[in-house]
Amino acid sequence: MNTNRLFNILVPLISALIGLIAGALIMLGFGYNPIKGYAALWNGAFGDIYYFGETVRQVTPYIFTGLAVAFAFRSGLLNIGAEGQVIVGWLAAVWIGTTVEAPMIIHLPLAIIVAGLAGAIWGFIPGLLKATRGVHEVIVTIMLNYTALYSANAIVRNVLSDNEDKTPDVAGTASLASEWFQNMTYFSRMHYGIFIALFAAVIMWFIIERTTLGYELKSVGYNEHASKYAGMSVKRNIILSMVIAGAFAGLAGAMEGLGTFGYMSVQSGFNNLGFDGIAVALLGANTAIGVVLAAILFGSLKVGGLNMPTEAGVPTELVDIIIALIIFFVASGYIIRWAILRFKKEEK
């Protein structure tokens, strides 16, 4: 048990390190100074209170999408649909934010809850199909991503605005934006959502580790048939798992809609929050605390990476390659796990 825990900490750490080293080699190979490059990355993410605020802003939705993927994964489900769940959550939050009039104490929670519900519904569909018809959730969630993208675009264009590219801004009573944070961080778009995100991570930990529901979900993840034999409702647990996962992703959309942007625009493609969430969950070993840490790493890479061309002259394309390498090594954590295991065996 103890070694297992050590493993879970060691493997992602080594993966991230190897990724960074591989990135450094690539930079060297192309004649750029890797120390300067990573210094620029660090500066771009934490070098200044403004960048710090932007990093926190980027980390917030990553925590949610990471949780969304991790939660489903704990019950053996691959939630590739976080992307679409984010979009419907975003749309729902902005819809409530722009059309409803209410005092903040009602308006803001309402917008957030409806966003979570929208995401939950988007997770319910693949959950239901998987539980009752055995349709693989990967296929359904991928297709629902596109459904969400194009439906949301049509609604933004035709319902929420008058044939324009974006909705009006959400009312002040539904906004997560914080003047206090903004003043503190030189007008970054850091908002109160980070607290909700951290709270959500605690909720995930609590559900998984401390409730019967969590126990059943994990059990279904380990062995469906044994769980069924033990008297658990596998169908119910599959659906519930996807619903809760979808709700997490929907909340990520609320963060974008109510916090970062304050509106929704017509999207020409996916914004990758959901797909990056898969990597975040993998790196975080599908645990709540791991997801938070991994989200911080990914948020820093994303925001800091923007600074590498400006400060260190590393071309944008190379930055993408380096970040992709880090993700690659993170995803191939199993290789490292295998290597360590082999190493241990020899020891015996």
Residue ranges that bind other proteins, judged by CB under 8 A: 14, 17-18, 20-21, 24, 34-36, 38-44, 46-48, 50-51, 54, 58, 163, 165, 186-189, 256, 260-261, 265, 267-268, 271-272, 303, 306-307, 309-311, 313, 316, 343, 346-347
Nearest to other proteins of 43, 151 (CB atom): 43
Please say which residue, 17 or 226, places its beta carbon nearer to other proteins. 17
Q: How far is the CB of 328 from other proteins (least distance, A)?
A: 17
CB of 305 to other proteins, least distance (A): 9
Query: Measured between alpha carbons, how far is residue 302 from residues 139, 164, 277 in Å?
Result: 28, 29, 13
User: In terms of Cα–Cα distance, which of 208, 300, 293 is closest to 245?
Assistant: 208
Residue with Cβ nearer other proteins (229 or 343): 343
Which is closer to other proteins, CB of 173 or CB of 267?
A: 267
Residue closer to other proteins (CB basis): 77 or 264: 264
Question: Residue 137 CB, nearest distance to other proteins (Å)?
Answer: 26
Instruction: Please identify, using beta-carbon distances, which residue of 22 and 213 lies nearer to other proteins.
Output: 22
Cβ 77 to other proteins shortest distance, Å: 27
**Beta carbon of residue 65, minimum distance to other proteins (angstroms, whole number):** 14
**Shortest reach from residue 298's CB to other proteins, in Å:** 14
Q: How far is the CB of 322 from other proteins (least distance, A)?
A: 13
In three-state form (DSSP H/G/I as H, E/B as E, the rest C), the secondary structure along the chain is CHHHHHHHHHHHHHHHHHHHHHHHHHHHHCCCCHHHHHHHHHHHHHCCHHHHHHHHHHHHHHHHHHHHHHHHHHCCCCCCCHHHHHHHHHHHHHHHHHHCCCCHHHHHHHHHHHHHHHHHHHHHHHHHHHHHHCCCHHHHHHHHHHHHHHHHHHHHHHCCCCCCCECCCCCHHHCCECHHHHHHCCCCCCECHHHHHHHHHHHHHHHHHHCHHHHHHHHHHHCHHHHHHCCCCHHHHHHHHHHHHHHHHHHHHHHHHHHHCCCCECCCCCCCHHHHHHHHHHHCCCCHHHHHHHHHHHHHHHHHHCHHHHHHCCCHHHHHHHHHHHHHHHHCHHHHHHHHHHHHHHHC
Decide whether 109 or 172 has the Cβ nearer to other proteins: 172
CA 27 to chain centroid = 28
Q: Which is nearer to other proteins, 107 or 189 (by Cβ)?
A: 189
Beta bridge partners, 177, equal 191
CB of 317 to other proteins, least distance (A): 9
